């Protein structure tokens, strides 16, 4: 299903096409899901899980500079958008009702919890939680915007991997060390 979302977008594929590619009858998906919306929701949930797991891995593996985990998270987020643009779009807006879906919100909060954890680690110990929240939002706004600009081809910059890393490191410093 994820392949079809990437190829045709969340609204551009049919369940019968997905079933055919999976080698099952067109009725088979409905033995596990009540409707198309539920299938698409599961694709989005699985995408959030993949993104969260990747974010956690890169943050844990980052070393050197105290801001390295935060920089790594930004790069990971943008990379996820580039490698799974259809799923990324699905997670962040193409499916109606996400904002009212408690499970979707909880899984998204799991991603944000990783960001907050790394910001909390990078900030002085006495930093109030409201400040951690504020800076987490600032970073998310920048990185999320960057990711969408990248996948939508909305800027003229052709960033190399090193230039993008420098950009993420710069924004991490600016937001966390002001």
List pLDDT tens digits, range 92-149.
Answer: 875 556 667 889 889 999 999 999 999 999 999 999 999 999 999 999 999 999 999 9
Q: With 90 as the cut, is the pLDDT of residue 9 above it?
A: no
List pLDDT tens digits, range 154-170.
Answer: 887 788 999 999 999 99
Q: What angle do CA 112, 158, 153 make, to 5 degrees?
A: 65
Contacts of 178 (CB under 8 A, 6+ apart): none
- Whether 120 is in a domain gets the answer yes
Q: Where are the alpha helices (DSSP H) in the chain?
A: 2-8, 15-22, 36-61, 68-83, 85-89, 102-122, 129-152, 161-176
Domain region containing 160: 37-176
- Whether 126 is in a domain gets the answer yes
The predicted model gives 17-45 an average pLDDT of 83
CATH for 134 = 1.10.357.10
Q: What pLDDT score does 13 carry?
A: 73
C-alpha span between 66 and 96 (Å, rounded): 39
- Whether 7 is in a domain gets the answer no
Q: What pLDDT score does 1 carry?
A: 67
- Whether 156 is in a domain gets the answer yes
- Whether 28 is in a domain gets the answer no
- Whether 81 is in a domain gets the answer yes
Q: What pLDDT score does 11 carry?
A: 75
Q: With 90 as the cut, is the pLDDT of residue 74 above it?
A: yes
- Whether 44 is in a domain gets the answer yes
The number of folded domains in the chain is: 1
- Whether 20 is in a domain gets the answer no
0.85 surpassed by pTM: yes
46 torsion bin: left (phi>0), alpha (psi -120 to 50), beta (else): alpha
| Average pLDDT score, the chain | 89
């Amino acid at each position: 299903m994820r392949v079809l979302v990437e190829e045709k977008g969340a609204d551009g594929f049919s369940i019968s096409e997905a079933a055919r590619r999976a080698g099952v009858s067109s009725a088979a998906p409905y033995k596990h899901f009540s409707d198309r919306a539920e299938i698409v929701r599961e694709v989005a949930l699985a995408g959030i899980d993949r993104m969260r797991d990747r974010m956690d891995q890169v943050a844990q593996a980052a070393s050197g500079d105290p801001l390295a985990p935060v920089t790594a998270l930004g790069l990971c987020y943008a990379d996820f958008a580039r490698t799974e643009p259809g799923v990324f779009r699905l997670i962040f807006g193409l499916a109606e009702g996400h904002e009212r879906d408690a499970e979707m919100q909880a899984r998204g909060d799991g991603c944000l919890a990783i960001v907050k954890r790394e910001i909390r680690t990078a900030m002085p110990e006495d930093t109030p939680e409201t400040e951690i929240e504020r800076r987490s939002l600032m970073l998310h706004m920048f990185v999320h915007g960057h990711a969408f600009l990248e996948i939508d081809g909305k800027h003229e910059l052709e960033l190399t991997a090193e230039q993008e890393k420098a950009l993420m490191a710069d924004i991490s410093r600016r937001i966390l060390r002001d």
